[in-house]
């Protein structure tokens, strides 16, 4: 009898051991954690459509056939290339591919998303109020990482997914761009090396999920040097973002011409950067505190967006505002209407087009305070390999267009180095006036 019982216990223990060892074999795949845009019959339909379109250069001649897959402003812009300083504007259709996230992104999302929730109480801030169920629990102390709501249903959930993107946690890159007056053909060039480091919500580059110590409670720190335009040469910009929504961003600018460090007010983040169609809060789509706005999920739709773009495919002529040569693939985007809580914001309303896999923002439309369509951003994403070897989905470049004044700004992020290690001392005020 004893032997029988011992045998039973032994088999039970072996079974448990076997199961625990095999857990990795049966753990969730990236697609299970972060669902792809298309599966099953939908994917089959897309593949069928691609048979006609992949490899094609879509320009004026066949634009009408894909009208339903591109936003209205983009359609109109491509219909009137001369207005934008171009003989023709075109893009290339490439096949849809799942944006396979890195192991760190999958693990973080799998670990933290099941328990994602919002704070049940309001948070009073100097600029207004964060209502109940708007602020993500665990965000303040950097206790979470990954997409909090991989199967998001509401606008606020989608917005927090967007915020979760850290694009490799640290990066360095050079932004090249032009401010183009499409009517006159006059161009002004910009060249600005950038550095950025996330202190919380880290997924790939140790320490994960946060850097410690972090006594000031940084969410993210950003540093930029202006090389061009020439009269701004040597100007440096530092931005310190906090996890606490009650704390305003601290932004400083070292103006080389005046040799002074100037503090910027938060309202200056609405100002355009060096005369471009981009303001500080528009960088990478939206660069602000999530809780400064309210969000409403509008719709989901298929769109030709740029997700695996190769920057060397960009083309443009002198005087041309938007890029040509963008590689677009059919994907699902979620439209989220963002309304600033600040009544003095320069925008009355913004529509974000969020990629359902990467929660990046390939497209955005913004309306001015008079309710007219004003700025449109068409952003291209790409698939990179970080310096540490893990994959990163990050911005390759973008077009910013002013719908009211017919000028645009094509930009390209060159020499990207995601996953680069930094000494945190770079992101201090004092480093602003060091040699450039």
Write the CB contacts of 60 (distance below 8 Å, at least 6 apart in sequence): 78, 79, 81, 88
DSSP 419: T
Is the separation of the CB atoms in 159 and 295 below 8 Å?
yes
Longest dimension (CA), the chain: 97
150 near 28, Cβ under 8 Å? no
Q: Near other proteins by CB under 8 A, which window of 36-44, 89-97, 246-254, 357-365?
A: 246-254
Measured distance CA(400)–CA(363) in Å, rounded: 10
Answer for which of 123, 208, 261, 373 binds other proteins (CB under 8 A) is 261
- Does 385 sit near other proteins (CB under 8 A)? no
Instruction: By CB under 8 A, tell whether 260 contacts other proteins.
Output: yes
Q: Measured between alpha carbons, how far apart are the two ends of the chain, in Å?
A: 82
Binding mask 317-356 for other proteins (x = CB under 8 A): ---------------------------x-x----------
265: nearest Cα among 282, 281, 248, 278: 248
CB 245 within 8 A of CB 256: no
User: Taking contact as CB under 8 A, which single stretch among the options 21-29, 103-111, 388-396, 399-407 is the one that binds other proteins?
Assistant: 399-407
Q: Which two tokens stand for residue 245?
A: 């929504």
Cβ distance to other proteins smaller for residue 183 or 313: 183
Q: Is 266 in the site for other proteins (CB under 8 A)?
A: yes
Nearest residue (CB) to other proteins, 67 versus 216: 216
Subset of 200-229 contacting other proteins (CB under 8 A): 227-229
Query: How many Å apart are CA 331 and CA 53, to the nearest integer?
Result: 14
Contact between 417 and other proteins per CB under 8 A = no
Among 24, 370, 371, 389, binds other proteins (CB under 8 A): 370
Nearer to other proteins, 147 or 286 (CB): 286
Pairing of strands 187-198, 91-93: unpaired
Assess 129 for contact with other proteins (CB under 8 A).
no
CB of 223 to other proteins, least distance (A): 14
Is residue 179 close enough to count as binding other proteins by CB under 8 A? yes
258 touches other proteins by CB under 8 A: yes
As measured in angstroms, the least distance from the Cβ of 80 to other proteins is 20
92/402 with CB nearer other proteins: 402
Say how far apart CA 149 and CA 165 lie, in whole Å.
12
DSSP state letter for 276: S
When the beta carbons of 133 and 268 are compared against other proteins, the nearer one is 268
Choice between 114 and 126, CB closer to other proteins: 126
110 Cβ contact list (under 8 Å, min separation 6): 28, 33, 146
C-alpha angle 405/309/28, rounded to 5°? 125
Q: Which is nearer to other proteins, 345 or 360 (CB)?
A: 345
123 is a contact residue toward other proteins (CB under 8 A): no
Q: How far apart are CA 323 and CA 312, in angstroms?
A: 12
CB 349 within 8 A of CB 336: no
- Map tokens 């983040």 to a residue: 269
Among 111, 188, 313, 414, binds other proteins (CB under 8 A): 188
Q: Choose which of 68, 122, 231, 421 interacts with other proteins (CB under 8 A).
A: 231
Q: Which residues touch 189 (CB under 8 Å, ≥6 apart)?
A: 176, 177, 178, 228, 229
Q: Smaller CB distance to other proteins: residue 78 or 253?
A: 253
Of the candidates 129, 140, 154, 68, the one whose C-alpha atom is nearest the C-alpha of residue 337 is 154
Nearer to other proteins, 75 or 252 (CB): 252
Q: Which of residues 18-77 bind other proteins (CB under 8 A)?
A: none
For tokens 């096949």, what's the residue? 95
Under rule CB under 8 A, residue 435 binds other proteins: yes
* Residue 368 near other proteins by CB under 8 A: yes
Residue closer to other proteins, measured from CB, 88 or 342:
342
Hey, how many other C-beta atoms are within 10 angstroms of the C-beta on 103? 13
**Which residue from 9, 230, 301, 317 is in contact with other proteins, where contact means CB under 8 A?**
230
In angstroms, the Cα distances linking 127 to 192, 267, 317 are: 31, 11, 44
Closest approach of other proteins to the CB of residue 140, in Å: 18
Q: Could you tell me if 381 and 397 are in contact, meaning their C-beta atoms sit under 8 angstroms apart?
A: no
250 binds other proteins (CB under 8 A): yes
In the bound complex, what is the minimum distance in angstroms from residue 34's beta carbon to other proteins?
Answer: 37
The residues binding other proteins (CB under 8 A) are 126-127, 179, 181, 184, 186-189, 191, 227-231, 233, 248, 250, 252, 257-268, 270-272, 274-277, 344, 346, 368-370, 374, 402, 405, 407, 425, 428-431, 434-436
């Amino acid at each position: 009898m004893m032997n029988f019982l011992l045998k039973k216990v032994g088999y039970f223990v072996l079974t448990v051991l076997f199961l625990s060892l095999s857990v990795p074999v049966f753990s969730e795949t990236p697609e299970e954690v972060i669902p792809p845009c298309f599966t099953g019959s939908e994917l089959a339909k897309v593949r069928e459509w691609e048979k006609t379109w992949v490899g094609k250069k879509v320009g004026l001649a066949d634009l009408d056939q894909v009208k339903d897959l591109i936003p209205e402003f983009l359609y109109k812009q491509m219909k009137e290339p001369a207005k934008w300083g171009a003989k023709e504007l075109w893009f290339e259709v490439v096949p849809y591919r799942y944006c396979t996230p890195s192991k760190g992104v999958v693990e973080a999302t799998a670990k933290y998303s099941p328990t994602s929730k919002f704070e049940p109480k309001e948070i009073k801030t100097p600029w207004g109020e964060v209502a109940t169920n708007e602020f993500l629990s665990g965000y303040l102390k950097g206790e979470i990482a990954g997409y909090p709501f991989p199967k998001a249903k509401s606008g606020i959930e989608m917005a927090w997914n967007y915020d979760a993107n850290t694009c490799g946690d640290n990066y360095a890159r050079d932004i090249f761009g032009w401010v183009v007056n499409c009517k006159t053909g006059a161009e002004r060039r910009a060249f600005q090396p950038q550095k950025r480091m996330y202190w919380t919500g880290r997924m790939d580059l140790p320490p994960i999920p946060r850097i410690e110590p972090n006594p000031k409670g940084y969410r993210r720190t950003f540093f930029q040097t202006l090389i061009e335009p020439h009269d701004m040469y040597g100007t440096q910009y530092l931005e310190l973002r906090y996890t606490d929504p009650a704390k305003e961003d601290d932004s400083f600018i070292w103006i080389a011409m005046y040799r002074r460090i100037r503090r910027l007010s938060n309202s200056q983040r609405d100002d355009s950067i060096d005369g471009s169609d981009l303001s500080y809060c528009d960088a990478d789509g939206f660069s602000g505190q999530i809780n400064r706005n309210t969000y409403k999920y509008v719709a989901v739709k298929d769109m030709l967006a740029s997700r695996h773009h190769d920057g060397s495919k960009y083309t443009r002529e002198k005087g041309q505002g938007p890029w040509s040569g963008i590689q677009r693939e059919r994907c699902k985007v979620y439209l989220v209407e963002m309304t600033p809580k600040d009544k003095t914001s320069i925008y009355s309303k913004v529509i974000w087009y969020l990629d359902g896999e990467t929660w990046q923002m390939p497209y955005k439309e913004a309306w001015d305070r008079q309710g007219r369509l004003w700025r449109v951003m068409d952003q291209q994403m790409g698939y990179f390999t970080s310096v540490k070897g893990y994959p990163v989905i990050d911005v390759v470049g973008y077009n910013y267009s002013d719908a009211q004044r017919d000028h645009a700004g094509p930009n390209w992020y060159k020499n990207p180095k995601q996953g680069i290690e930094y000494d945190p001392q770079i992101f201090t005020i004092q480093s602003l006036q060091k040699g450039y």
